[in-house]
Amino acid sequence: MIALSKIALVSAVALLGLGWAYQATRPPPPAILGAPGGPPISSPRIRLKDGRHLAYREEGVRRENARFRIVFIHGFSSTKESGFPVSQELVEQLGIYMLFFDRAGYGDSDANPKRCLKSDATDVEELADALQLGDRFYVVGCSVGGYPAWSCLKYIPNRLAGVALAAPAVNYWWPLPANVSRAAYGRLHARDRRTFWIAHHAPALLHAWLAQKWFRVSPIVRAERDAFTAKDWEILTALWRKQRESGQVDPAKATQQGTYESLCRDATILFGTWEFDPTEIENPFPDGEGGVSIWQGRQDKIVQVEIQRYVAQKLPWVRYHEHPEAGHALPDMDGIGDEIIRELLLGESELHQEPRAQDA
């Protein structure tokens, strides 16, 4: 009798579990931009070949008068409104045109059910062509926006004038030496490890994992205090406050079409099995007509320095800048944003021509 009810109980639990898993793997219906009841579209957009639209925002000097044209790729749970910390002075001094856009599924850009490493690069290319940026343009990728920047290096190298990767995200499932991945993965919070593991091994369950309330998910995904150094937190909370107060950034806008098409796609592409190995990318500028740089904070708790160093060492043509005190908020530290842009556009030799802002 007891044994039987135990079996019944176990079966009932198993059935419930299966039912949950079945429900969980079904993606939620997307919120349709501009449709009745859906989020309104409030930005200029271009139409892509496959019919999707990408929303963009222009800043800096007028495109026609610009000496340099840069496309910026935003990070996780972000939008084109977050911008990049470059001073007006540098923008005018060098004549920089800046193009920000919402990545597919974020903000006012349509979701892409076929989104992948390659489509993220061709989105950048089509956007640049629609806005007539010319044969070659610069690309800056921040944090999770680093992986589409790697895709640009892989898939559209002949369109690039130079690339800067600022604290670019790393994938623990790239082909890495065991000691490197062990060191980096081991330093992650257990809750981050669990969430990243699901993104890689059971991507269909990620949405349900992030939505459930029984277990706490990753501090990195939630941008919680635990994911940052004390200095990061000081910089970022001040920045977020400023953005909120100025009304420039609406934090809810990034995921207004739902977290499935934005955050989940980001995480499952980033942590998936890549069809290329970044350490085998060929130098896009064999004649030195452009440069690729990686900027990394040694204290970064989100992007582990061991992997970044390994990637940079494997690519001798990458200019690697490691800041000893910085964490993940590296680009937002005093003067660093300008340094990144100056180095990208003028090269390393120009970097220390003038006193650095934090030394001044």
Ligand X SMILES: *[C@@H]1O[C@H](CO)[C@@H](O)[C@H](O)[C@H]1NC(C)=O
- Give the CB-nearest residue to ligand X: 179
Please, which residues have CB within 8 angstroms of residue 11's CB and are 6 or more apart in sequence? none
Distance, CA of 245 to CA of 57 (rounded, Å)? 20
* CB of 297 vs ligand X, minimal distance in Å: 17
Please, which residues have CB within 8 angstroms of residue 168's CB and are 6 or more apart in sequence? 141, 142, 143, 145, 146, 147, 149, 150, 294, 303, 308
Site string for ligand X, 249-288 (x = CB under 6 A): ----------------------------------------
Output the six-digit token pair for 112.
């892409």
Closest C-alpha among 151, 153, 185, 157 to residue 171: 185
* CB of 276 vs ligand X, minimal distance in Å: 23
Q: Is 271 exposed, middle or buried (0-12, 13-18, 19+ CB in 10 A)?
A: buried
Query: Integer distance in angstroms from the first to the last C-alpha of the chain?
Result: 81
* CB of 310 vs ligand X, minimal distance in Å: 7
User: Residue 173: which region, alpha, beta or left (left: phi > 0; alpha: psi -120 to 50)?
Assistant: alpha
Cα 5 from chain centre: 51
* CB of 307 vs ligand X, minimal distance in Å: 9
CA dihedral 241, 106, 222, 141 (to 10 degrees): -80
- C-beta closer to ligand X: residue 212 or 313: 313
* CB of 199 vs ligand X, minimal distance in Å: 23
- C-beta closer to ligand X: residue 180 or 205: 180
- C-beta closer to ligand X: residue 306 or 338: 306
Closest C-alpha among 338, 342, 209, 256 to residue 40: 256
Q: Are 107 and 256 in contact (CB under 8 A)?
A: yes
Site string for ligand X, 170-189 (x = CB under 6 A): -------x-xx--x------
Site string for ligand X, 57-86 (x = CB under 6 A): ------------------------------
Distance, CA of 305 to CA of 123 (rounded, Å)? 29
* CB of 145 vs ligand X, minimal distance in Å: 25
* CB of 355 vs ligand X, minimal distance in Å: 34
- DSSP type of residue 229: -
- C-beta closer to ligand X: residue 116 or 183: 183
- C-beta closer to ligand X: residue 184 or 264: 184
- C-beta closer to ligand X: residue 63 or 309: 309
- C-beta closer to ligand X: residue 144 or 307: 307
Name the amino acid, one letter, at 291: G
- C-beta closer to ligand X: residue 277 or 282: 277
> Total residues contacting ligand X (rule CB under 6 A)?
5
Site string for ligand X, 300-339 (x = CB under 6 A): ------x---------------------------------
* CB of 32 vs ligand X, minimal distance in Å: 46
Q: Are 291 and 341 in contact (CB under 8 A)?
A: no
Residues 195-234 that bind ligand X (CB under 6 A): none
- C-beta closer to ligand X: residue 180 or 351: 180
Distance, CA of 109 to CA of 176 (rounded, Å)? 34
* CB of 306 vs ligand X, minimal distance in Å: 4
Cα 30 from chain centre: 21
* CB of 76 vs ligand X, minimal distance in Å: 25
- C-beta closer to ligand X: residue 100 or 185: 185
Residues at the interface with ligand X (CB under 6 A): 177, 179-180, 183, 306
